[in-house]
Structure 1
Amino acid sequence: MPQIIILPHAEHCPEGAVIDAQPGETVLNAALRCGIDIEHACEKSCACTTCHVIVREGFNSMEPSDELEDDMLDKAWGLEPNSRLSCQAVVVDEDLVVEIPKYTINQVSEGH
């Protein structure tokens, strides 16, 4: 079973975490299931950038992003070459190391 290593983030995961993920599960769904509340203002519909993460290890093991995700990522704060929307990034069979950026672009926080 692949694992997702979430690097420490002051608000969402101060100590960092190692969580088990099911192949085919998104990074966001795995994090939420384990109590890591990554913001997701559009309810996982690939219509915002609030769930933006940076995949520090294991990036190439995932299916590539599609055009819609790429268009949304262009609007994300702190975009890097290995950025993904966690609602679209599907775990395959390798462990991932994921960083939640310090900031997100969100007009209205929905208090998830």
Structure 2
Amino acid sequence: MPQVIFLPHAEHCPEGAVIEVEAGETVLNAALAHGIDIEHACEKSCACTTCHVVIREGFGSLEPSDELEDDMLDKAWGLEPNSRLSCQAVVADQDLVVEIPKYTINQVSEGH
């Protein structure tokens, strides 16, 4: 079973986290199931950028992003070549190292 390693983030997981994930699960769902409360203002519908993450390792194992995700990512704060929306990034058979950016473009936290 692949692991998703979340790098430390002051608000969402100060110590970082290593979780085992079933292949086919999204990075966001895996995070939420393990108490890592990544913001997701559009309720996982690929309509915002609040769940933006950077895949530091294992990016090549993910299915390519589609045009809708790419359009949304263009609006994300701190966009990098290995950026993905965690609601769309589906874990495959390789481990991932994930960084949650410091900021989102969301003006107000929804407090999910």
TM-score (norm 2): 0.99
Aligned ranges 1:41-56 → 2 under 5 Å: 41-56=41-56
Give the secondary structure class of the aligned counterpart of 2:9. coil
Q: Runs (4+) of structure 1 moved beyond 6 Å? A: none
- Aligned: 1:103 with 2:99: no
**Deviation at 1:108?**
3.0
Matched with 1:11 is 11
Unaligned runs of 5+ in 2: none
**Deviation at 1:47?**
0.3
Aligned ranges 1:1-112 → 2 under 5 Å: 1-112=1-112
**Deviation at 1:36?**
0.3
**Deviation at 1:110?**
1.2
Partner amino acid for 1:50? T
TM-score (norm 1): 0.99
Q: For residues 16 and 30 of structure 2, what CA distance do their matches in structure 1 show?
A: 14
Aligned length: 112
Q: For residues 98 and 20 of structure 1, what CA distance do their matches in structure 2 show?
A: 13
Q: For residues 101 and 109 of structure 2, what CA distance do their matches in structure 1 show?
A: 16
**Deviation at 1:109?**
1.8
Partner amino acid for 1:47? A
Give the secondary structure class of the aligned counterpart of 1:30. helix
Identity %: 88
Q: For residues 65 and 85 of structure 1, what CA distance do their matches in structure 2 show?
A: 9
